[in-house]
Amino acid sequence: MNNIPAEALVQYQHKGISKTKLAKRIFFIIFGAVLMGVGIEEFLVPNKILDGGIVGISIILSHITGFRLGLFIFILNIPFFFIGYKQIGKTFALSTLLGITVLSLTTTFLHNVPVFTEDLLLATVFGGIVLGAGVGIVIRYGGSLDGTEILAILANRKLPFSVGEVIMFFNIFIFGTAGFVFGWDRAMYSILAYFIAFKTIDVVIAGLDESKAAWIISDRHKEIGEAIMARLGRGVTYLTGEGAYTGDDKKVIFCVITRLEEAKLKSIVEELDESAFLAVGNIAEVRGGRFKKRNIH
């Protein structure tokens, strides 16, 4: 699966990790790799549905040659282990090697285990969910299960394309090849499974409480700020701005909320000032300060 944001590749490269955190990281990387292996061997591969990235290429090569899938996953990812070691760091590289090794062994052990379903739609949906959950867990704890992202980052330095565009081109080639090898209906199911896995990864990494930043500009900033604190239990910060066109001083309300609170925030702003400017954006991580929600009585 190749949906890892570039910034996630270096998210956990820090020194002085405790033994407890190290054990937790190892456990969840193993658990995530096993989950991905289950998604591949128990749902996708038996029904001739592909994943993207190196795993997708491995599935095609395994089908053509008859060799075990786990062997191709391990061998094709080895070069990216060394690239990751040099470009990103030792911790990431070792976490990736652990994940890829466990994934390869899991697909080998599950190869002859009876599948959960032969229904193509069920296999696509649940295979994508299980696979995406596994990949998301591994990313969240500092590893990777596919070398495509590293390749895309390196290609981005020399080509006029973003990392996401390089990965997209790579997967277009893989799914196009799948159409010739497995049939175009299987290629379309593969794209659907890939999309489901992609969305599942987002949820696992960010969680249902994904943070969002909100900027509000209004002449009634005090009322809106007090309403946010009273009704959402979130702290707010008043920033001073200046209108570029009018030159007037403006007060900007800044606050951090979860995605589940976004609709409530919008209703508060609309209720107090329908003409207020509101901008909401995603935040990858929130630390420190007083982000923890206050209890509302």
What CATH number does residue 229 fall under?
3.30.70.120
Q: How confident is the model at residue 160 (pLDDT cuts 50, 70, 90)?
A: confident
pLDDT at 278: 93
Distance separating the N- and C-terminal Cα atoms of the chain: 45
133 and 60 both lie in a single domain:
yes
Q: How confident is the model at residue 279 (pLDDT cuts 50, 70, 90)?
A: very high
152 and 234 both lie in a single domain:
no
14 and 158 both lie in a single domain:
yes
Q: Which of these ranges, 12-21, 44-53, 119-128, 199-208, has the smallest mean pLDDT?
A: 12-21
For the chain, where are the alpha helices, taking DSSP H only?
19-39, 53-65, 69-87, 90-109, 120-140, 148-156, 163-182, 184-206, 221-231, 262-272
The Cα 108–Cα 81 span in angstroms is 20
| CA-based nearest residue to 43, from 113, 118, 107 | 118
* 194-205 burial code (b ≥16 CB/10 A, e <16): bebbbebbbebb
**pTM of the entire structure?**
0.69
Count: domains in the chain: 2
Beta strands at 277-282 and 211-217: parallel, antiparallel or unpaired = antiparallel
Q: How confident is the model at residue 173 (pLDDT cuts 50, 70, 90)?
A: confident
pLDDT(4) > 70: no
The Cα 39–Cα 33 span in angstroms is 10
Q: How confident is the model at residue 162 (pLDDT cuts 50, 70, 90)?
A: low
Looking at 181, 206, 231, the residue that finishes a domain is: 206
Give the domain range for residue 249: 211-282
67 and 185 both lie in a single domain:
yes
Question: Which residue would you say has higher pLDDT here, 107 or 243?
Answer: 107
Q: How confident is the model at residue 163 (pLDDT cuts 50, 70, 90)?
A: low
